Amino acid sequence: MSGRAQLMWDEAVTGYDFGPGHPMDPVRLALTRSLVSAFGLDREVEVVAAKAAGESTLRLVHRPDYIEAVKAASADPAAADPSYGLGTTDDPAFAGMHEVSALIAGQSVGAAEAVWRGDAAHAVNFAGGLHHAMPGGAAGFCIYNDASLAVARLLELGAERVAYVDVDVHHGDGVQAAFWDDPRVLTISLHEHPRTLFPQTGWPEETGGEAAQGSAVNVALPAGTGDAGWLRAFHAVVPELLAEFRPQVLVTQHGADTHFEDPLAHLAVSLDAQRAVQVACHDLAHEYAGGRWVALGGGGYAVVDVVPRSWTHLVGIAAGRAIEPGAETPEGWRQEVYARTRQLAPARMSDGRWPVSWAGWEAGYDPADRLDQAVVAARRAVFPLRGLLA
């Protein structure tokens, strides 16, 4: 296995653009790539532009009729079929939609292939993590589910155990659905409670299909959860499950929309806590998955203040050159931010909360605390199914 990480990047992925005013502004991708370069991280990784996912690859997850519907909407956006979730407010159709969506999917599939084959220990596609797309429909700003396709490709290549950990503020519903009946895939999602946020799924009782009970794990966090609670929940659930499952590859989704500045959700997590979970995922990959780690982006709609910094930290961690939280953002990047957006860029790679701390689960829990109730619900629903003490 090569020790060098891969960064999957093709400038054309910034064409994933639902139009003016849509929350998923592709400037977040361009500014992340620029910040990676400004810190010199692109010299520490192998930057690879993978080919777009082809028809046979897309069919590992998506139905043929849905792929054809995407192609039709891509050729003529006015003819988009809303029965497939296309041409809606969340997922407006745009020219070239199929091609750029397949390109993003191809980067995640390429990342999975590189890690499985030993070309790289870690691979990052921050343009990916489009976890809401279903086998037969678009949803939640997601056309093709690159995360599911990466996992499916790993299985096709011979992997017998793949773990998927999703820390986006929204439930990783599309990935859970894709592998609901497959015990070879363990999906773990930490997200805001479905009572208060799209897609209104991800209840702790969702534990997998009849043939795969205990393969889906959902930690539904109360609105307002901050750094200490978020990290406590992560460490109370994820490490024990990975230790039991022993995945051959760890795939993680790092939506930045848990942040307290994100306009579409209600958690109160800082950039520093996001970085701490990125470090934890890296370490867990080494401890339980032989170091094989595929890291994806995801949601994140504070497109200047949060997303570029969060995902640049992710690239630095994967590259083995983690950026110190107190580091200043490079002046040239700040100038680019203003030129592109007429917004002032953040000055540092931290929200001033480093080092973050939390109380470990082993010290006990408070049955009256809403965060602890969420953790207990997840552990009681799944841990016994996996032979673990709840």
Count of CB atoms situated within 10 Å of the CB of 330: 16
132 is catalytic: yes
What angle is formed at CA 370 by the lines to CA 384 and CA 269, rounded to 5 degrees? Answer: 100
Distance from C-alpha of 65 to C-alpha of 126, rounded to nearest angstrom: 28
Structure tokens at 166: 């999703």
The two counts, helices (H) then strands (E), for the chain are: 11, 8
**CA distances for 14 relative to 27, 73, 132, 293, angstroms:** 7, 19, 19, 24
| SS3 at position 306 | coil
Q: Which residues contact 78 (CB under 8 A, 6 or more apart)?
A: 93
The CA-to-CA distance between both ends of the chain, in Å, stands at 36
Structure tokens at 48: 């690879």
Answer whether 297's CB lies under 8 Å from 127's CB: yes
Distance from C-alpha of 20 to C-alpha of 17, rounded to nearest angstrom: 8
Distance from C-alpha of 35 to C-alpha of 259, rounded to nearest angstrom: 19
Answer whether 32's CB lies under 8 Å from 307's CB: yes
What angle is formed at CA 108 by the lines to CA 129 and CA 238, rounded to 5 degrees? Answer: 55
Choose, from 131, 132, 235, 254, the residue flagged as catalytic.
Answer: 132
Exposed e or buried b per residue across 228-250, where buried means at least 16 C-beta atoms within 10 angstroms of its C-beta: ebbbbbbbbbbbbbbeebebbbb
For residue 247, report the phi and psi dihedrals to the nearest 5 degrees: -65, 150
**CA distances for 268 relative to 169, 192, 231, 350, angstroms:** 10, 10, 12, 15
| SS3 at position 130 | coil
Residues with catalytic function: 132
